Structure 1
Amino acid sequence: MKLSLNIQPLNSWINIKNEPLIISGPCSAETEEQLLSTAHLLAATGKVSVLRAGIWKPRTRPGEFEGIGSIGLEWLKKAKEQTGLPTAVEVATAKHVEEALAAGVDILWIGARSTANPFTVQEIADALKGVDIPVLVKNPVNPDLSLWVGALERINNAGITKLGAIHRGFSSYEKSAFRNEPMWELAIQLKTLCPELPIINDPSHICGNRELIPYISQKALDLDLQGLMIESHIDPSVAWTDAKQQVSPAALEELVDRLSLRKAESKNEEFVDKLADLRKQIDKIDDLMIQKLGERMAIVEQIGIYKRDNQVTILQVNRWDEIMQKRGAMGKVLKLDPVFTEKFLELVHGESIRKQTLIMNEGKAAANVAEASAPVTVETLPG
């Protein structure tokens, strides 16, 4: 099912100086000098199309720096006048929207914490009615595609047609190299639901450290995301917020220069023909895989019946360990990623258990339905 949004293409609502679209600036506007100096250096790179700055900062715990507030909008306005760069800020309340619009901010974005709360998103949407301004919606903190889609729909229903999404990763209890897990599959699902929706990647918040930003930036572009939002500070070592994930303007310029910009399609006939041939081979293999999985599940059902009739439990731990070891070893020989192999086997095993559970409980399920459907009489009530 496709997502029906009334939106304008990215290049019709923002002037992209150079591809890809780069939105950059400090995590937080700290002082007028810091913001203006950073803005001038970013403009001088010729790589940045939009200047961003955090004015109001929703922090996890009280007592941390929560943004300079409305005065920062005046600094941002001055930076725009001096550099010619359009500006972008995060808004989390109707009052933020009103103040940002009054200050001439060009682009608004809704943060991850706000996206997770439909009440907050609706408040912002109501404040945007009748306004013609680009709005970007970050994914919610938790991996919930419906929340992300719902926020986009609310903003679109308010009449905002210059609409885009920001992929900034998702919170996870599992420890990893990233501050927020990319979970690329969710961004891909959103892109599949609405191919015309511009999606910007935020490698700063995904990485949490500047060392990984080039890697995530390149992967985002390779997945055909339309741009990058990268935090930049004139001196990241002394930044008041998120110092580790910000880069200097000079480092940003070098990073962008090293990115490879690839096209979504090619008109080269030889390439098109070769790609079509390779895809046909993949289609045949995929068809065979689905067929073999169907055959496997048919045997699983036979095993389930045999176990049920012989009063044997569904889970056989030794057998599962044997499968994981043998198939895992085969996967390594075939140069499959061990994590992928493990997840694939777990999915297949989970479906096998589900099917055998249904078979084991066929009789009980029928009895439960019959009991629930039986008429209640005085004789059947407890005495």
Structure 2
Amino acid sequence: MKNSKQLRTWLDDMQLEHPLVIAGPCSAETEAQVLKIAHELKDSDVNYYRAGIWKPRTRPGNFEGVGALGLKWLQKVKAETGLKTATEVANRAHVELALEHDIDLLWIGARSTVSPFIVQEIADALQGTDKIVLIKNPVNPDLALWLGAVERLKSANIQNLGVIHRGFSTYGKSKYRNNPEWQLAIELQTKFPDLPLINDPSHITGKRDMVFDVSQTALDLNFDGLMIETHTDPDNAWSDAAQQITPETLIQYTKDLKIRKESITEADYTKELQKLRAQIDVADNQLLENLGKRMLVAEAIGQLKKEKNVAVLQSKRWNEILGKMVLEGEQHNLSEEFILKLFKAIHQESINHQKQILNG
């Protein structure tokens, strides 16, 4: 698939003066709940009203959605408020029912994106549709899998496509429900700058008090829109209660979020920016040079270990380095999370170099 201005035609045609906003409850619970939230959002910046009809839960026994009945409630939302509607689909049957009820926007969830079989089934069911179809990133940080899902839908002659960045599962401790891994979304944006990119701060954070900050970060990174879970009584929501915000809060957020310019042509700004970017280029080159030197030392250590028949991994030494670097990082205003990721990557590369020596 190649980047093309046509990828964002559906979004450009909306002629929005603000980022795209998709909002509504995690789950459609009752008809009254769905309609109440919709009416509170109808005069806001919300462009699509979302509600989960089928809920693929991690473990059985939890609320798994009201099913097709909820699609009729979404039809009422459109009739009474004029809001366009959106829901998640995970198989052919879901797609057929959603199309039958004229749902305007469909998205494929993270658990579905991980399976090419599921994505292909959905793509076949949507063949040639003019509906908007958004693809959430897979559960794990795998850009190829994410893009593969987009390509399958594109191959099914589905033109109105976009992606949703909802963060990635992690085994380790994190303040996020799903780590944003911003760099991966940026890489996708770099490869396909015209593919609409939506951020889902609700699933990234898992906590309503973090939704605003993640939303602002996404907009600062030039994301095209936000998908935010919204509920009139979030504490008593039937699913994902902790990450939902009220319609009133959402409306205030859309007023408070800053929309920054992608670029500016003022001469003074451009000149200063070029100077600062040149400094970054120098720093990056120095960083790569130092990493190269470090790997040469690692290779020398590998040679010594080979001669003395010593194992590559020295856990005590590694833990000492990690602890020291976290403390050093604090002195340079670098977060522990960043330092751990950075030095784990450097350490793995060092091990790879040493293994080549030992096995050579």
TM-score, normalising length: structure 1:
0.86
Distance 1:14 1:39, change over 3 A: farther
| Amino acid paired to 1:42 | L
| Structure 1 residue 58 displacement after superposition | 1.8
Task: Look up the match of 1:286.
Answer: 284
Task: Look up the match of 2:237.
Answer: 239
Task: Look up the match of 1:153.
Answer: 151
Task: Look up the match of 2:21.
Answer: 22
* Percent of aligned positions that are identical: 51
Task: Look up the match of 2:40.
Answer: 41
| Structure 1 residue 88 displacement after superposition | 0.9
Task: Look up the match of 2:257.
Answer: 259
In 2, Cα distance between equivalents of 1:11 and 1:254: 27
| Amino acid paired to 2:86 | A
SS at 1:8 equivalent: helix
Distance 1:10 1:49, change over 3 A: farther
1:126–1:158 contact (8 Å) kept in structure 2? yes
SS at 2:33 equivalent: helix
TM-score, normalising length: structure 2:
0.91
Task: Look up the match of 1:225.
Answer: 223
The 5-angstrom pairing of residues 1-383 of structure 1 reads: 4=2, 7-9=6-8, 12=11, 15=14, 17-44=16-43, 46-311=44-309, 314-315=312-313, 320=318, 323-324=321-322, 327-362=325-360
1:18–1:49 contact (8 Å) kept in structure 2? no
Distance 1:309 1:243, change over 3 A: closer
RMSD: 2.3
SS at 2:23 equivalent: strand
In 2, Cα distance between equivalents of 1:283 and 1:110: 39
Distance 1:322 1:194, change over 3 A: same
1:307–1:314 contact (8 Å) kept in structure 2? yes
| Structure 1 residue 314 displacement after superposition | 4.4
Distance 1:210 1:329, change over 3 A: closer
In 1, Cα distance between equivalents of 2:275 and 2:239: 51
| Amino acid paired to 1:257 | K
| Structure 1 residue 110 displacement after superposition | 0.8
SS at 2:188 equivalent: helix
In 2, Cα distance between equivalents of 1:70 and 1:103: 9
SS at 2:7 equivalent: coil
Gaps of 5+ in 1: 363-383
| Amino acid paired to 1:228 | L
Distance 1:249 1:10, change over 3 A: farther
Distance 1:344 1:162, change over 3 A: same
| Structure 1 residue 325 displacement after superposition | 5.4
| Structure 1 residue 312 displacement after superposition | 5.2
2:3–2:191 contact (8 Å) kept in structure 1? no
